[in-house]
Chains A and B, each alone.
Chain A
């Protein structure tokens, strides 16, 4: 390859085409990333942007800060619960929409819509549904006899945590539906026919055929959604603002509060970097899987 002058010219052309991308990446991603690491070694007053070097002081502070550990715990709790619901409902809905039902494409669009709608819209609607006096949720549950008094959905614990988990599941389960539905369509019907002839019931066909076929796509979906749920800001910030007090405050919310509420950009960066370190294991695992898929598909 190296000897051919044409190849060399092509390599130069290829590099020129990717150059704008690399430039933008360096300016808006690589530089800020390095800068965040650097900032976390300072204490910086946000309004004046003046600060002094404190070394690992911010990190030492965080290790001893109950608020940091509470936020980390909240983040994990939120991620695991909402992710579990997303997967269960997502797979169930995908199986359902895979069947022949009337107006199937309309049904699919309606199911997918929560995922595409802005988080702001989703939150406004849910805050109206959760309204303590005139909200439909309280009304329906009172009518069904599940509760005797209207509930405070977002302002008290554990309701606030349960509410954000539910809304998160509602907003993001369609992603699982999209992925699983696409995979379901590629499972050959012959597998099911053969199982039927062998006398397998509906349940055992699901466990022995569908689930193993879905395994790979589910692993990818779980990893991706875990990463995205872990870093979710909008939904939680807009629904509860991290409250009551810090009961639903996750790490991204703590970063925002430290930087723009408590005006300490250095410490906020330290929280952000710590958060990224926790996420890194998931990210590396995902990159490995994606890389393996890639090599297989090129073979």
Chain B
């Protein structure tokens, strides 16, 4: 890579690879702004000859898309709040307190993080039916804790292990109780970790499909993932540009989070063992 020509060649190669990888996503956006008839050109046009937002308008006014989106937002926020509150307390306990069974507990968290959903889903389905809360967003919040809680707990635990013990000890010497030290010293230190854990938990809930498929069967409670798929299945002839518009809208929150999250990207997702 010493010569300038070599440098340029490498850059060209690298960016070709990047663009090929991102091509399906670029294609999704391009398709969503093409008029329906343009999709059936052979050969296909790359740049839209005519840019239109009619599919987005139709999506919002003529399909239950906004209802699904509302459900997904409620589901995402509710899951995130429940999980992050419980996990922050739990992680703090696992990191700063000593009691019998602590190590076992930490190991169990990691174990449950690896459990397949299909094993838990049948008993959970029976449980929801028995409790009479099947077909509600609430049932999905409960179901989502099965994967989101172990994940958040593990992630927060590794964040909190990075906070030096001395900080808490100093607060205790100054006469604070352990809870005061937790609120005044540990929480502000852990805030970046808590924020990125919240964002990742939200993404997990936003993208989940299997539980939503099994537990919810009405448009009233259906989130985006199963909702958009049902638009595909129920349509007589598949309107690809409408579906691509739905896909773009569904990915918007991720793009926003992505923009905020640049610095955390390499740290958070899929944690639970992979250490930098």
Contacts and interface: CB of A to CB of B under 8 A. Distances in A.
| Bind each other | yes
Interface of A: 1, 7, 10-11, 13-15, 17-18, 20-22, 24-25, 28-29, 31-33, 35-36, 39, 49, 93, 96-97, 99, 101-102, 105, 107-122, 124-126, 128-129, 131, 133-134, 136, 139, 143, 170, 175, 178-179, 181-183, 185-186, 217, 220-221, 224, 227, 230-231, 233-234, 238, 251-252, 255-256, 259-260, 265, 268-269, 272-273, 275-276, 279, 283, 286-287, 289-291, 293, 297
B229 A238 contact: yes
B118 interface: yes
B97 A112 contact: no
B122 interface: yes
A28 B123 CA distance: 9
B112 interface: yes
B24 interface: yes
B80 to A, nearest CB: 15
**3 shortest interchain CB distances as A-B pairs:** A14-B97, A182-B276, A21-B90
Given A36-B119, A186-B276, A231-B118, A102 B11 contact: yes
A129 B226 CA distance: 21
- State which size class the interface on B falls in: 35 or more
B154 to A, nearest CB: 10
Contact of A179 (B10, B114, B124, B270): B270
B266 A49 contact: no
Contacts of B89: 17-18, 20-21
30 contacts: A1-B98, A7-B98, A18-B93, A18-B97, A21-B87, A24-B149, A28-B120, A28-B146, A29-B150, A36-B122, A36-B123, A99-B14, A102-B11, A107-B15, A117-B207, A118-B250, A119-B207, A121-B247, A128-B240, A128-B244, A134-B42, A179-B270, A182-B276, A185-B276, A233-B117, A272-B116, A275-B119, A279-B116, A283-B111, A286-B273
Contact of B107 (A96, A111, A287): A287
- Give the secondary structure class of B's interface: helix
B28 A121 contact: yes
B122 A113 contact: no
Interface string B215-254: 0000000001100110010000000100110110011001
Contacts of A256: 118, 210, 214
A116 B116 contact: no
Contacts of A175: 269-270
Contacts of A139: 42-44
A101 B8 CA distance: 9
A28 B96 CA distance: 26
Contact of A117 (B1, B19, B90, B254): B254
Nearest to A107: B18
Nearest to A34: B123
Given A20-B86, A114-B24, A276-B116, 6 more contacts: A15-B99, A99-B1, A118-B254, A120-B225, A128-B28, A290-B273
B210 A11 contact: no
A35 B43 contact: no
